[in-house]
Amino acid sequence: MTYKVAIAGATGYAGGEILRLLLNHPAYASGDLEIGALTGHSNAGQSVAELLPHLPQLAGRTIVDTTVDNLAGHDVVFLGLPHGHSGPIAKALGEDVVVIDCAADFRLKDSKDWENFYGSEHAGSWPYGIPELPGNREELQGAKRVAVPGCFPTTMTLGALPALHGKLIEPDLSVVAVTGVSGAGKKAAVPMLGAETMGSVKAYSPGGTHRHTPEVVQNLSPFAESTVNVSFTPVLAPMPRGILATITAPLKDGVTQEQVTKVFQNFYADEPFCQVLPEGQQPQTQHVVGSNMCQIQAHVDVRAHKLVITSALDNLTKGTGGAAVQCMNLALGLDETAGLPQAAVAP
């Protein structure tokens, strides 16, 4: 069978990353995956060669308008659209199409959380695209609808999950996560200008006001004795890609570094895209650029009686586009790792 795939919002950072990965997918090389409609809104009518020059295989293609008619007739549709636009398109495409949404529309299960953080009516929830969360992989296999997680929640969830699942910490997390500017998307905005970001680091949406906070709480609370408390502050750094999260939580009594290391290594022993680093080695964003990997370290702070977890990933790959392709693979019954690099770009 040949799968025909469309990308809505193809010229954005998420759409471009999905295309980069699909062009290196073994199913594309064998002819079993065909890249169909590439849609946009303000860029409709322009060439891929002009807008996405890093994708030479598609240079002769033209961006078409994001309409249901242009997206219909595909087996898989990736939606890289602004929040709030995915629901009507998915409904119009029908239940037989695999729709993979990179926006937040269907991530949250609690309608009050959605309304409080996004200010509109809740559209519902879909199977959630972190396969490494216990139980999620089974829900994603054969799924017709998938909600790709946010890049911050992926980084924090994968970092903290072994500690909560293994009962190593109290469910009270303080998180500072540094992100590259591509996390804000491709839209023109003064705070994202080079003159505003180069040589400067700033915090924003501090102390739990960021929209991704309820997503992290939703992901982690089932593995704790009570609802997880998350105080999350993102920090914008002058780099194109990458997230580095530092997660701090109180240790439970008697927990040792040896125990922590063993729990983390065992938890991710069979996960191809989660790497627990050797003791003493810290994750760095430069070591995950362009890869679908999340690198993780956990350090016992004996004096403060806390666990300090660091996790790093590429916000456009494992944080968005790579997660979307990983979920597509599961939904179509393909090898989960197909088309997804473990090796990063260095230097």
Residues labelled catalytic: 151
Contact 53, 61 (CB under 8 A): no
Nearest to 16 by CA among 57, 65, 55: 55
Query: Rounded distance, CA 100 to CA 98, Å?
Result: 6
Contact 325, 18 (CB under 8 A): yes
Cis peptide before 341 (omega within 30 of 0): no
Query: Rounded distance, CA 180 to CA 247, Å?
Result: 18
231 CB burial (10 A radius; 0-12, 13-18, 19+): middle
Contact 330, 336 (CB under 8 A): yes
